[in-house]
Structure 1
Amino acid sequence: MIWGVRAQDSSGVAAGPATEPGPAAARRATDDLATDGARSPHVVRLLMVASVALITLAAFEALAVATVMPVVVDDLGGLHLYAVAAGAPLAAQLVATAASGAWVDARGPRGSLVVGVLAFCVGLVVAGLAPAMGILAIGRAVQGFGAGLLMVPLYVLVGAMVPADRQPRFFAAFAAAWVVPGLVGPAIAGTVADAVSWRWVFLAVPVLTLAAGAVLVPLLRHVPRKRRAAQDPAARRATRKILLAATGAGLAAAALQVAGSGGGASGLVLAVAGVAVLAVTVRLLLPVGALRLRRGVPSAVTCRGLLNAAFVSAETFLPLLLVREHGWTVREAGLVLTVSSLTWAGGSAVQGRVHDPRRRALLLWLGPLILVTGTLVAAAASLPGAPAWWVVVGWTIAGAGIGLVFPALSVVVLQSTAPAQHGAVSSSLQISDALGAALGLAAAGALFLAFVAHGALGFLAGLLVSAALAVGALAAGARATAVSAPAPASASAEA
């Protein structure tokens, strides 16, 4: 998937894709941005149409690529790079999101948005024309970097150009933009791949993306270039530190993905270097105590990362399992993505109706428990003689589990931190999402390749890694129920 998770959050807090900064980020960098015409009804309508179109296209691409990857690897070969091609966009997004935040703060949303749209399209074209799996992985990394650059400015534009009373509608529309692609995206992608070529799943989207960008870019004339303001030296150093840490973590995640694809001594060197860099950078990106599962916000942030790691790593390999081991077409295998989209939305809607604090606390361990159960049921389809429909049943269950807990964690984090820290802690959530998905794919991919010579055993090994990550999310969610005092979202102290 491109963005790691789907933005189906009924909590009132946007908490979906790894690059999606949420409403808190919409208040960033909005000073000196809007002109008098920026809030006119006509301009607001155009902004709604163009921004929702961009998010819908990126959501479609996330699900479409996950659907067609089995036929891509059959055509190009390079099974050892399967997880790398899936995880490269996530690692790139981690870097791009941090870079976009700094760019928007310093210069406004214009540059990041335009470069993001162009990079997203270029990456898709490279992937669609790729002669080999390695080139496709590079294209997907460029695509993910572009997605990371373009999403933050969209939220900032809403904060600058949309009247406050209409902003909730925008954020609801942004989340809803993932629903239709979840319902029809896998089927459309499977049909295109079966009837024409998987390449058109990549090559058709840039045309539509540029069309949406052509509507959005003229609106930027209502957003004057931001005046460079004197920044406190301490704040400047903190921004530079976070940017360098995010870059290092993204590169480390990419190194671990490549190492997991098999590389002998060079792979071992990459793995050691990746772990060493992560040991330094993660402590700068996550709340103090996150790795030790300190109660409250630190455990909630860690839980989000582990949930994303479990869900994305499993969902990446399930269509391949259905195609390779059970003989399904890519269109049929896409059903597993559709059903999880439906139950994710259902679980999210259910948690939005739970208001009693004690019952909401139950969601933080009940959701991961359901995800563990669903992952194990889906993994059982890789056992000898097991029916393929276990994958569909299991992933239907898993979607409901993550839908229950994912938005609930956003609420816990924001309600447990001071308003002045909402932007920083929201950033920690997004970083945890992206890093978790990238590292989860690296781990599951390495185990998959270690046993793939034994057929379905490779899928079982990878999916059991996903289940283990979901168990970790269960432990973190249980500790997130006991809310601690507000903690800073990032610090140089030990995490």
Structure 2
Amino acid sequence: MLEKTPIPQQETGWRALLSGENAIHSLVLSGGVALHALNIYVVTTIMPSIVREIGGLEYYAWSTTVFVAASILGAALSARLLGAVGAGGAYAIGALVFGLGTLLCAIAPSMAMLLAGRAIQGFGGGLLYALAYSVIRLVFRPELWTRAIGLISATWGTATLIGPAIGGMFAEFSTWRAAFWSLLPLTALLAALAFSTLPRKATNEEERTPLPVMQLLLLVGIVLALSVASTRGSAFEQIACVGAAIVLFLGLLLTERRAKGRLLPSGSFTLASPLAALYATITLLMIGLQPEIYVPYLLQELHELSPLLAGYIAALMSIGWTMGSMASAHWHGERAKQTIFAGPACGFVGLALIALFMPMAGAVFMAIAGPLCAGIIAVGFGMGFAWPHIVTAVYEFAPDGEAEKASSSITTVQLFAAALGAALAGLTANVAGIESPTQDGVALATTWLFWLFSLMPALAALTARRVWRARRQHA
């Protein structure tokens, strides 16, 4: 009797992911995320230098707002692009769009052109970021998916550390334009590598629901209306813009209820629904993070730190997010459920510490560095602490047959809330007088900014508690 030859088992560890053809695919996917993430942290660090040269401090927050708003559109359209031209073509197009925006930023003589470049960058970056998670299932075996996702997450964390260093070095030598120029060769290499190695076959395998174009446009309109409000000098104009944002939001609710192609799962706008409470929690937490965009500027203006050091201190918030996620990701049961409102509470404490210590311009910085840095870390830690279990709860409460939509909606809500928060931060900072020529005026604006935004995680703790109660009843 012949013995059966055993079928060799394929390796499923890191070696399998980082060798042969998989290594090239890993490089492309993580490279796209690295470009998107590095750009965010480099620009956050060099923005003070940019406004000193070309002006436009009143549009400071718009750099983040337009980038993230365009990223929302790019991420939403990534699946359609993937289906039309395949992974290789989609990645190449995303990289080329990102490169075009980077070029405009590098040569920008004014804030208007810089913002146009940031918008194009954001669209390309949104495509690359969303494509990374879509292409994983096309190029890797299922048993390698979790490791591939882990690699992408590690890439983002690495960019958190490297980005401020790169931006800080360019800012130190007053060559912020070179920061953008340095990204162009990497972008071109990514486009060529992706097009030559990733599958180029179209992936339209099933009928798709209509793209929620109107809802996406309304989302962007809300963000832009609030961004315009942050640049208006009169109270009447500011109120008019905020009113326009409210009207657009009501239009979003009406459109979402009636549209065939929905942006969010069923019940997302029903007040009694746990999903509504979850999305409200995500939105409030993300808005609470956005004053971070002013941290490098305030550290330089109020405490006379170098751009490099200010950028690294600002990056502590993202490091805190990673620490929070690692601390709670393996938790289960009742303890895991409680993180959903414990995280927002931690975020509130962090913003309160920043509000107390950041305005102390006359103090020796080393005397306040400890509590100030602890506050910045606590804001990110609170978000990361709750995040894995917020995502789990979204899956848990997703309506039957809408789990995929619920999954993709998390990114949409997250990006929208980030853009909304950046716009609100800009509006608050400008109204409070952050453009004041004196340190006392800037310090007063700082106090208003961080105390007002500390209300966001405080409210998130309340909405999260509703989710916790719903999960206990559901169990």
What TM-score range do you get, normalising by the shorter chain?
0.7 to 0.9
Deviation at 1:266, TM superposition (A): 5.7
1:323-342 residue pairs with structure 2 within 5 A?
323-342=300-319
Structure 2 counterpart of 1:278, one-letter code = F
Residue 410, structure 1, aligned to residue 391, structure 2: yes
Structure 1: how far apart are the matches of 2:18 and 2:465? 47
* Contact in 1 for aligned 2:88/2:194 (Cα 8 Å): no
CA distance in 2, matches of 1:144, 1:267: 26
Whether 2:442 is the aligned partner of 1:455: answer: yes
Quote the Cα distance in structure 2 between the aligned partners of 1:249 and 1:485.
33
Match of 1:321 in 2: 298
CA distance in 2, matches of 1:87, 1:251: 12
1:160 maps onto 2:141 in alignment? no
SS in 2 for 1:420: coil
Once the two structures are superposed, the pairs formed by residues 129-208 of structure 1 within 5 Å of their partners are: 129-208=107-186
User: Is 1:445 equivalent to 2:426 in the alignment?
Assistant: yes
Give the secondary-structure state (helix, strand or coil) at the position aligned to 2:402: helix
Aligned length: 439
Residue in structure 2 matched with residue 370 of structure 1 by the alignment:
346
In 2, Cα distance between equivalents of 1:471 and 1:207: 44
State the AA in 2 paired with 1:393.
A
Aligned match for 2:45, one of 59, 63, 67: 67
Q: Superposition pairs for residues 198-347 of structure 1, below 5 Å?
A: 198-220=176-198, 222-226=199-203, 231=207, 236=209, 239-240=210-211, 242-262=212-232, 264=234, 268-282=239-253, 284=256, 285-287=263-265, 290=268, 293-294=271-272, 296-311=274-289, 313-347=290-324
Structure 2: runs of 5+ lacking an equivalent: 1-16, 257-262
Distance 1:208 1:318 in 2: 28
Match of 1:432 among 413, 436, 449: 413
Using the aligned pairs only, state the percent identity. Answer: 24
The alpha carbon displacement at 1:296 in A equals 2.6
Write the distance in 2 (CA, Å) between the matches of 1:413 and 1:475: 17
TM-aligned CA distance change 1:110 to 1:419, over 3 Å: farther
The residue identity in structure 1 corresponding to 2:382 is: G
Deviation, 1:82, is 0.6
Q: Please tell me whether the aligned partners of residues 266 and 399 of structure 2 are also in contact (alpha carbons under 8 angstroms).
A: no
TM-score, normalising length: structure 1: 0.82
Give the SS at the match of 2:401.
helix
CA RMSD of aligned residues (A): 2.7
1:78 maps to amino acid: G
Letter in 2 for 1:142: I
AA in 2 matched with 1:246: L
Q: Determine the structure 2 residue equivalent to 1:379.
A: 355
Contact 2:108 2:114 in 1 (8 A): yes
| Counterparts of residues 40-59 of structure 1 (less than 5 Å) | 42-59=20-37
Superposition deviation, residue 111 in structure 1: 4.6
Q: In 2 relative to 1, CA 291–468 (structure 1 residues): closer, same or farther, beyond 3 Å?
A: farther
Does the Cα contact within 8 Å between 2:354 and 2:372 map onto a contact in 1? yes
Q: Which has the higher contact order (CA 8 A, sep 6+)?
A: 1
Aligned partner letter, 2:179:
V
| Mapped contact 1:88–1:137 kept (Cα < 8 A) | yes
Deviation at 1:134, TM superposition (A): 2.2
Q: What's the secondary structure of 1:354's corresponding residue? A: coil
Residues 63 and 186 of structure 1 are in contact (CA less than 8 Å); yes or no, is this contact kept in structure 2?
A: yes
TM-superposed deviation, 1:377: 0.5
Q: Deviations over 1:218-254 (max 9, x none)?
A: 123x34224586x4xxx64xx24x2221122113212
- Please give the secondary structure, in 1, of the residue aligned with 2:109: coil
> CA separation of 1:286/1:461 partners in 2, compared to 1, >3 Å: closer, same or farther?
farther
- 1:472 pairs with 2:453: no
TM-score, normalization by structure 2: 0.85
Say if 2:83 and 2:202, in contact at 8 Å, map to a contact too: no
Counterpart AA for 1:207: P
2:203 and 2:349 mapped to 1: Cα distance? Answer: 50
Whether the 8 Å contact between 2:219 and 2:416 is mirrored in structure 1 is: yes
Which structure 1 segments of 5+ residues have no match?
Answer: 1-38, 488-495
Q: Which secondary structure state, in structure 2, belongs to the residue aligned with residue 402 of structure 1?
A: helix
Specify whether residues 267 and 451 from structure 1 end up closer, same or farther in structure 2 by C-alpha distance, changes over 3 A only. Answer: closer
The question of whether the paired residues in 2 share the 8 Å contact of 1:444 and 1:461 is answered with no
2:340 matches 1:351:
no
* Deviation, structure 1 residue 123: 1.1
CA distance in 2, matches of 1:414, 1:173: 23
> Per the alignment, in what secondary structure is the counterpart of residue 194 of structure 2?
helix
2:95–2:190 CA contact under 8 A, matched in 1: no
- Gap change, CA 1:345 and 1:151, over 3 Å in 2: closer
The 1:115/1:282 distance shift into structure 2, 3 A limit, reads farther
Relative distance call for 1:252 and 1:191 in structure 2 (3 A) is: same
Give the letter for the 2:197 counterpart. L
Structure 2: distance between partners of 1:287 and 1:129: 42
Cα displacement (A) at 1:403: 1.4
Measure how far apart 1:289 and its partner are.
Answer: 5.5
Counterpart amino acid of residue 41 in structure 2: L
Letter in 2 for 1:256: L
Q: Which amino acid aligns with 2:121?
A: Q
